[in-house]
Chain A
Amino acid sequence: MNFPVIKGAAYALIQANGMLFYQGTTQTSERLKNSQSEHLQKLPEHLRSFDQAVSYPPNQAYIGNITPDDLKQIPQPWYENPVTGARDGKHGEIMPEDEFLGLMKIVDSFELVVLEESFQAGVKEKLQTHPVLNDIEDITKLDKTPGTSDELEQLVAEQSAQPLYFDGKLVGCVKRAHEFDEALSSEVMLGNIANKASAVLALKQMLAKTDLNPEDVDYIIECSEEACGDMNQRGGGNFAKAVGEMCGCINATGSDTRSFCAGPAHALVEAAALVQSGIFANVVVVGGGCTAKLGMNSRDHVKKEMPALEDMLGAFAVHISENDGINPVIRTDAIGRHRIGSGASPQAVMTAIVTDPLDKAGYKITDVDRYAPEMQNPEITKPAGAGDVPQANYKMISALAVKRGEIERTELLKAVDSFGMPGFAPTQGHIPSGVPFIGHARDMILKGKITRTMIIGKGSLFLGRLSNLFDGVSLLMEKNDGKVDTGFDQEAVRLMIADAMRDFAKAFRE
């Protein structure tokens, strides 16, 4: 079968302390109840500097400068063991918040983002020399319609605009897009514009770091957890085209796919199907970051005297293309899925998304070199009471191997160690879900270090209060065997005709 391949992947992180404090929902909920609460008083002391965010080992792993195996060797807590890191990464970059606010204005099509004059001029200068963004057409927006500090204060105080802070100063705001439509409120618009801007950064990174040309992109699937629309169609869409428009993908169309944290895995399956069916040759899956989740567990981090580690917006882009005989393939004949009737117990979920597809492909659990389930950074989730999420997933996979008699119970932890990796993604919902490993996996497979990995997305559908169902999708990413099926084998056809002629001649003689 001619499987589609993963031709490239890129990643972006944006440090966003201002948005953590003013727009993260843990903080906005707290502010509603008590604007002088102890948490809000203490939180600023726990915010990291940009340099601290850059040298934070999991962030360096996310942008590809160190591998998950390197990260495993670095003692925890990682925030006390910084590495020499760079903001530019093999697979992407870490951006500071001031530049990102500039990028938000660049991608804003409705003049909702207002930046203070001198701040705007400052970030324009920085973005003009940005290696990936300097050619973005709408950078000229940073010459236009700045605001004064007074205007910003007035917009925030009287027009319910969302404040944008940098270094403790009010440097801008996002206005509401409608006077009373809640779907276009300033909170929603800020989240959506930040999501779009971060997705643009990831896609621009991919276009810069791989040989994909923007005009060759046929289809874009966006898979974050935001909704864009007005009160008559709150989730109307379309983030995908809005992102592609900013990146010069003039020949692409696209749409949005949603399934909570499992969205990216669904999107990859859809992209693979579009390519393998021959409908489109180059499909990009893209996901931007989530401002609401910034500082989601910061109450626990503050209480435990830790830095507020959830200060990063995450984004990614993955390029799926036709089989080139080189890049790792997606085994579309063994896609795992949590069926509506699968049940909600952890073993039912894991059986549906891990062992069912392995059975289909004829593999044992231990035939997969690495599993990439939800790669949440444990340093963020453990203090919040969620435990080490990737580790728990690895134990579940190993426990299934025990139940299936593939390994002994005493070998459970050994198996976890062999196919597991430490989590290194920020808790941005859909961002950790398997995809952060794709860039590393592609490198490792191309270098022959591993043969096969399983990318697993899991989603908590019950949070939407429409269904109690869970969700999950998985896909196997595997070394390319180098054989490309061109669809028409001339030699085979010649032999078939010769056989038929011979049979015909024989029948005629008899």
Chain B
Amino acid sequence: MDLENQARIKDLNDKYGNEDLIVVLGGAEAEASGLAAETVATGDPTFAGPLAGVSLGLKAYHIFEFKDEVPADVYEEQISMMEMVLDVDEIVDEVKTYRK
């Protein structure tokens, strides 16, 4: 995960706390999405950025997981085509792992 973005997430967590704040991902691929989810939950596993060794306990979701909460027309217009392109199940399963 981008180092600058790690810093931003850290600041936002300080401001809003991990109850109110959630992270929503748009990753193209399971491993990278999982890595981002892990980074905001338990810290940067690559030990490269500001979240190295910092366990924020933030919950991350992939946007695919909110299909039922987003108005259908908006989801259709913004996201639906990518359901045919990306491996939805694999990505969602991987991201979920880090919310347990």
Contacts and interface: CB of A to CB of B under 8 A. Distances in A.
Q: Do chains A and B touch in the complex (CB under 8 A)?
A: yes
Contacts of A235: none
Given A386-B32, A387-B28, A412 B46 contact: no
Interface stretch (B53-61, B64-72, B82-90): B82-90
Contacts of B85: 346, 392, 395-396, 399
A384 to B, nearest CB: 8
A345 B81 CA distance: 9
Contacts of A29: 3
A197 interface: no
Interface string B12-33: 0000000000000001110111
B7 interface: no
A283 to B, nearest CB: 36
B70 to A, nearest CB: 12
A46 interface: no
Given A346-B85, A347-B80, A396-B85, A299 B48 contact: yes
Contacts of A144: none
A450 interface: no
Nearest to B83: A399
A502 interface: no
Contacts of A386: 28-29, 32
Interface in A383-428: 384-387, 392, 395-396, 398-400, 402-403, 409, 412
Contact of A402 (B35, B78, B84): B84
B73 interface: no
A390 to B, nearest CB: 12
Nearest to B48: A299
Kindly name the residue among B3, B31, B79 whose own CB sees the greatest number of chain A CB atoms within 10 A: B31
Interface in A361-403: 382, 384-387, 392, 395-396, 398-400, 402-403
Nearest to A398: B84
Contacts, number: 52
Nearest to B84: A399
Contact of B46 (A299, A395, A400): A299
A229 to B, nearest CB: 25
Contacts of A395: 84-85
A392 B79 CA distance: 14
Contacts of A399: 81-82, 84-85
Contacts of A412: 84
B29 A387 contact: yes
A506 to B, nearest CB: 61
Contacts of A382: 29
B88 to A, nearest CB: 12
- Tell me the interface secondary structure of chain A in the complex: helix
Contact of A385 (B35, B78, B80): B35
Give the contact-size bracket for chain B: 10 to 19
Contacts of A385: 27-29, 31-33, 35
Given A385-B35, A392-B86, A402-B84, A347 B28 contact: no
Contacts of B86: 387, 392
Interface in A262-314: 299, 303
A384 B81 CA distance: 23
Contacts of B27: 385
A223 B46 CA distance: 35
Kindly name the residue among A346, A348, A382, A392 whose own CB sees the greatest number of chain B CB atoms within 10 A: A346
Nearest to A395: B85
Contacts of B29: 382, 385-387
Contacts of B78: 345, 347
B67 to A, nearest CB: 15
A346 B78 CA distance: 7
A483 B11 CA distance: 64
Contacts of A392: 28, 85-86
A346 B32 CA distance: 19
A382 B32 CA distance: 10
Contacts of B3: 29
Contacts of B33: 385
A348 B80 CA distance: 11
A347 B74 CA distance: 12
A382 B27 CA distance: 12
A258 to B, nearest CB: 22
Contacts of B35: 385
Contact of B77 (A299, A347, A384, A396): A347
Contact of A346 (B31, B48, B81): B81
Contact of B81 (A30, A299, A347, A387): A347
Interface in A156-200: none
Nearest to B82: A346
A410 to B, nearest CB: 12
Contacts of B84: 395, 398-399, 402, 409, 412
A345 B28 contact: no
A10 B77 CA distance: 40
24 contacts: A345-B77, A345-B79, A345-B81, A347-B77, A347-B80, A347-B81, A382-B29, A384-B32, A385-B27, A385-B29, A385-B31, A385-B35, A386-B28, A386-B32, A387-B28, A387-B86, A392-B28, A392-B85, A392-B86, A395-B85, A396-B82, A399-B81, A409-B84, A412-B84
Minimum-distance CB pairs A-B, first 4: A385-B32, A399-B84, A347-B81, A395-B85
Given A348-B77, A400-B81, 13 more contacts: A29-B3, A299-B48, A303-B46, A345-B77, A346-B85, A350-B81, A382-B29, A386-B28, A387-B29, A392-B86, A395-B84, A399-B82, A399-B85
